[in-house]
Amino acid sequence: MDFLDPLALARWQFGLTTLYHYLFVPLTLGMGLIVAIFQTWWVRTGETKWLQLTRLFGKIFLINFAMGVVTGIVQEFQFGMNWSAYSRFVGDVFGAPLAFEGLLAFFFEATFIGLWIFGWDRLSKRVHLATIWCAWIGATLSAYFILAANSFMQNPVGYTMSPDGTRAEMTDFFAVLTNRVVLATFPHTMFAAIMFAATVVVAVAAWHLARGQHFEAMRPALRFGMWTVIISFAGTAISGDLLGQQMVATQPMKMAAAEALYNTACGADASFSIFSLGTPDGTSEIWSLRVPYLLSFLSTQTLDGCVEGINNLNAEYTQNWPVFADQLGGDLPFAPTIWITYWSFRWMIGFGGLAAVISVVGLWLTRKKAKRAVPQWAWRVAIWSAPLPMFGSLVGWLFTEMGRQPWIVFGLMLTQDGVSPSVPGWNVLISLIAFTLTYAALAVVEFGLILKAARKGPEPIPEPGDGESADDDAHRMTTVY
């Protein structure tokens, strides 16, 4: 193994920085919506508890947003640093949605976040409420444009090759924005993000309720969070099924790799294994817990449909792209790393499902007619459930990107051809170490600030005539910790 292989190091660096950045993205998307809902209820009802929740989770939202901006900037620099060949090949297409994300969506989002932060005592209630909704809409648009760019890598549309065959040139921007993959990926990503933010709300509320404090605000926050987890899990599952169908239509190898299905299977033989013991290459299965027909149903929406296997698809791809097959070599040149796709697919489902089950149990334990107090172990489970949807999102993206391999743009460019040709391995290694150490330090700061805000809980709202001015009130909101 070459520890200074530029391709391997560039992949590690991009993978680590992407997954690290994605720690902040779903919490920003989901928490922005939740804060907007809390503030809406405050404006409509005038109840103090909703204003307290708005401010508490607004602080967490702002801390996370700031960290997401810092880490997100690094992402785009890597295209020029380590992936210049890829940038030259697809920049005409890939750059358009990223430009819209940066110049339109992000500035829209940032502008209204600024108005929300500093507008508490300067804007009317309804206008100020509109600013947080606009900020969330901007964040949502930002996510859509980025997902549209990524979806082109999964399913290239709206382009033509340059006359010399060295670049993909965009011919239809609308086709890029309405890619069948992004139309399924976007709701799946948004529901998963809302689910993560809701578990954070549940964890914060459970921490305070376990200590018998802030009951008036934290009990509705807890119940709201658990209901949101359940609803968003249902949305994630339904949109995930739609995304799976698009995956079969555009990247059938990814679905085959998700099940480690080497030979085409139909009907009952196209089963889905909940858990398997055996070798990673699928040649020796010791034991497996299987659901007959399920893989067929997930892939074709019928019980008797056929799902193409890895061997069959590899032969088809070899015939379609003989030059790439010769370049890759090996027995299965077009297959991804099977054990990664197999287990990441199951962990993705498992983490989300476990969070939903915890919320169902939590709703039962905290119902008004419950005859017994909630046991301490239940509060601890609720607190520690917070990262479950985040883990599900991370392994879900791992499945999405690793399942696309060996392609960096499916059917057009191999990952090994996208790396910068003139960047030596030691250069990438130095930046990899530097980014990893820096991000580790930032993670400690991020977690510490959020933990401090969460433990402090909702602040008391000053009553009229208590000697505190509106400017003092606004200043507390603009201070993130």
Structure confidence at residue 40 as a pLDDT band (50, 70, 90): very high
pTM: 0.84
Structure confidence at residue 109 as a pLDDT band (50, 70, 90): confident
Torsion of CA 144, 150, 153, 159, to 10 degrees: 40
Instruction: Look at residue 476 and tell me whether its pLDDT is greater than 50.
Output: no
Residue identified by tokens 């307290």 is: 52
Biggest alpha carbon–alpha carbon distance for the chain: 80
Neighbouring CB atoms inside 10 A of 161's CB total 12
User: Quick one: pLDDT at residue 133?
Assistant: 92
Instruction: Look at residue 461 and tell me whether its pLDDT is greater than 70.
Output: no
User: Quick one: pLDDT at residue 202?
Assistant: 92
Mean pLDDT of 120-143: 88
User: Quick one: pLDDT at residue 68?
Assistant: 72
Half-sphere exposure (CA, 13 Å, Cβ side) for 200? 32
Half-sphere exposure (CA, 13 Å, Cβ side) for 136? 21
User: Quick one: pLDDT at residue 96?
Assistant: 81
- Residues 276 and 286: their CA atoms lie apart, in Å, by 8
- Which amino acid type is present at position 239? S
Instruction: Look at residue 352 and tell me whether its pLDDT is greater than 80.
Output: yes
pLDDT digits (tens, 9 = 90+) for 430-459: 877 887 788 788 778 878 888 888 888 777
Instruction: Look at residue 478 and tell me whether its pLDDT is greater than 50.
Output: no
User: Quick one: pLDDT at residue 474?
Assistant: 44
- Is-contact 461 51, C-beta < 8 A? yes
Instruction: Look at residue 227 and tell me whether its pLDDT is greater than 90.
Output: yes
Instruction: Look at residue 102 and tell me whether its pLDDT is greater than 60.
Output: yes
- From residue 455, give the alpha-carbon distance in Å to each of 24, 30, 264, 371, 448: 20, 20, 54, 28, 10
DSSP-assigned letter for residue 410: T
User: Quick one: pLDDT at residue 467?
Assistant: 46
Residues in contact with 220: Cβ distance below 8 Å, sequence separation at least 6, in sequence order: 49, 53
pLDDT digits (tens, 9 = 90+) for 279-305: 555 556 667 777 888 888 888 878 888
Least confident of 15-24, 159-168, 185-194: 15-24
Least confident of 3-12, 176-185, 273-282, 434-443: 273-282
User: Quick one: pLDDT at residue 283?
Assistant: 56
- Is-contact 158 176, C-beta < 8 A? yes
76-85, 201-210, 275-284 — which one is most confidently predicted on average? 201-210
Higher pLDDT, 475 or 43: 43
Higher pLDDT, 388 or 69: 388
Task: Supply the mean pLDDT for the chain.
Answer: 82
Identify the burial level of 378 via C-beta atoms within 10 angstroms of its C-beta, where 0-12 means exposed, 13-18 middle and 19 or more buried: middle
Residue identified by tokens 């200590």 is: 211
User: Quick one: pLDDT at residue 470?
Assistant: 41
- Residues 309 and 320: their CA atoms lie apart, in Å, by 16
Per the DSSP assignment, residues forming a β-bridge with 168 are 161
Instruction: Look at residue 332 and tell me whether its pLDDT is greater than 70.
Output: yes
Mean pLDDT of 204-230: 88
What is the phi-psi region of residue 259: left when phi exceeds 0, alpha when psi lies from -120 to 50, beta otherwise?
alpha
What is the phi-psi region of residue 333: left when phi exceeds 0, alpha when psi lies from -120 to 50, beta otherwise?
alpha
Give me 299's structure tokens: 């892939």
Mean pLDDT of 35-46: 90
